[in-house]
Amino acid sequence: MSEADIRFRMVKERHKKRFELAVKKGEADEIIVPLCRYINSTKNFFTSSSCSGRIVLLGIKGKGKNKAYFHRKWHQAVSFDKVWEAIGENTKGNLWFKMEPFIIHIGARTLKDACKVLDIKNSAGVKRGGIIAAKPGKFILELIGTEEMALPVKLGDEIIVTKEFMRKVVEKANEKLEANNERLRKFESVVRAELK
Amino acid sequence: MSEADIRFRMVKERHKKRFELAVKKGEADEIIVPLCRYINSTKNFFTSSSCSGRIVLLGIKGKGKNKAYFHRKWHQAVSFDKVWEAIGENTKGNLWFKMEPFIIHIGARTLKDACKVLDIKNSAGVKRGGIIAAKPGKFILELIGTEEMALPVKLGDEIIVTKEFMRKVVEKANEKLEANNERLRKFESVVRAELK
């Protein structure tokens, strides 16, 4: 076995274990689990950290990643009432409402295998992402959906959106989450047909 | 010269010409021109279509790409008055306000060259993107900024945002465009230092 193959096996095993642990702990997004399991069952591919898409209220206390925190996270359609209630709660800094698309990380053994994933991405109409790391035995792809929303809803303690507007925003976000899930299902079906 | 090298030369020449034509016609985003010119001056790299980031009012007449049109596009900071005036004009379908990050396409001769661009992307703190096409003599990378906003402002003829809210939204969008440009400048400086 080549050095690259040994590396691939090790990395795949590590990510597989980490994934199954996350499922056990209930930390993995349910909707994406069968897709991840399928990819992990193939010989030349595995999944690393993934998210199926979500609606969030993100608190931003300043600049930089450490200054942001999740005030709320929903992986399914959410009711306006829940969002509005959460906006009214105590928060720090500014608060943004966001709908974030799925993000999937896939490891591939060779460049040829990685290109196979690129083909599948294109067939499934997934517009964003590509190979983000490439070394012998470790090709990592990141695929991202395109549905998204982002807007400020609160600056300091001041809610800057009206109730009527937010009702429409939540409706749109739920529509976008459904379109996101639709794309994910399409991707899963092409993966199951083409990735062996 | 190998077949791959011949392909690379041809593709690079074609993209270089197309880029200079776009500059001539005033279609290229000014802020990104020196970066693109530098990349085109190297031996093993070229740029394909790129956008430096922008603030847009996007009309959406239905589902699918053909149903969307630009009501307005700004590549620099925009005043609230201009945005508010444009929102008040006649539009078709729904209208979204969006701040979109830069998107740069770079061609590389070999996988090793493409990995060099990935390294530069990481050094410059560009979070999104990767190798989106990989064949001998034609490795294409897509790099995307992370600053973005997207929200509906008009459903049919009904403006759903208040003037006060939009004033803050435009302010945030201008801040994000500046952060986007800052990241682009950082990327350019690392490119000039590392990409030969």
pLDDT, tens digit (0-9, with 9 covering 90-100), for A129-155: 999 999 998 999 999 999 999 999 999
Contacts of B130 in chain A (CB under 8 A): 129-132, 141-142
| pLDDT at position A66 | 76
Does residue B141 sit at the A interface (CB-CB below 8 Å)? Answer: yes
Given an 8 Å threshold on Cβ–Cβ distance, is A168 in contact with B151? no
Torsion angle of alpha carbons B119, B140, A142, B149, nearest 10°? Answer: 90
Contacts of B111 in chain A (CB under 8 A): 111, 134
Q: What ipTM score was computed for the predicted complex, to two decimals?
A: 0.92
Q: Which two tokens stand for residue A138?
A: 């470790």
Per-residue pLDDT band for B65 (boundaries 50, 70, 90) equals low
| pLDDT at position A26 | 84
Number of domains in chain A: 1
Shortest distance between the Cα of A77 and any Cα of chain B, in A, equals 17
pLDDT digits (tens, 9 = 90+) for A20-71: 898 888 888 888 999 999 999 999 999 987 899 999 999 999 876 678 999 9
| pLDDT at position A195 | 94
Cβ neighbours around B186 below 10 Å, total: 14
Does residue B111 sit at the A interface (CB-CB below 8 Å)? Answer: yes
Helix axes A163-194, A80-88, angle to 10 degrees: 120
Q: How far apart are CA B162 and CA A158, in angstroms?
A: 15
Given an 8 Å threshold on Cβ–Cβ distance, is A134 in contact with B149? no
Nearest CA in chain B to A171: B152
- Which residue type, as a one-letter code, is found at position A130? G
pTM of the model: 0.93
Cross-chain CB nearest to B132 (options A130, A162, A165) = A130
Does residue B70 sit at the A interface (CB-CB below 8 Å)? Answer: no
A51 compared with A1, residue with greater pLDDT = A51
β-bridge mates for residue B140, sequence order = B107, B133
Residue B135's SS3 state is strand
User: Is residue B166's pLDDT more than 70?
Assistant: yes
Lowest model confidence (mean pLDDT) among A79-83, A112-116, B49-53, B94-98: B49-53
Does residue A144 sit at the B interface (CB-CB below 8 Å)? Answer: yes
Give mean pLDDT, residues A170-193: 97
| pLDDT at position A176 | 97
| pLDDT at position B130 | 97
User: Is residue B117's pLDDT more than 90?
Assistant: yes
Does residue B17 sit at the A interface (CB-CB below 8 Å)? Answer: no
| pLDDT at position A127 | 93
Give mean pLDDT, residues A101-115: 96
Q: How far is CA B70 from CA A181, B177, B185, in A?
A: 27, 18, 27
Q: How far apart are CA B158 and CA B147, in angstroms?
A: 28
Residue A110's SS3 state is coil
Strands (E), chain B: 45-51, 54-60, 68-74, 94-100, 103-108, 128-135, 138-144, 149-155, 158-159
Cβ neighbours around A138 below 10 Å, total: 16
User: Is residue A192's pLDDT more than 90?
Assistant: yes
Domain harbouring A145, CATH code: 3.30.1960.10
State which residues form the domain around A116: 3-194
User: Is residue B28's pLDDT more than 90?
Assistant: no
Does residue A67 sit at the B interface (CB-CB below 8 Å)? Answer: no
Residue A147's SS3 state is coil
Residues 6+ positions from B13 with CB-CB distance below 8 Å: none
Does residue A155 sit at the B interface (CB-CB below 8 Å)? Answer: yes
Q: How far apart are CA A47 and CA A49, in angstroms?
A: 7
Give me chain B's average pLDDT, please.
94
Q: Which two tokens stand for residue A176?
A: 């976008």
Cross-chain CB nearest to B168 (options A135, A142, A160) = A160
Inter-chain CB pairs, A–B, below 8 Å:
72
Q: How far apart are CA A192 and CA A180, in angstroms?
A: 18
Secondary structure of A42-96 in the HEC alphabet? CCCEEEEEEECCEEEEEEECCCCHHHEEEEEEECCCCCHHHHHHHHHCCCCCEEE
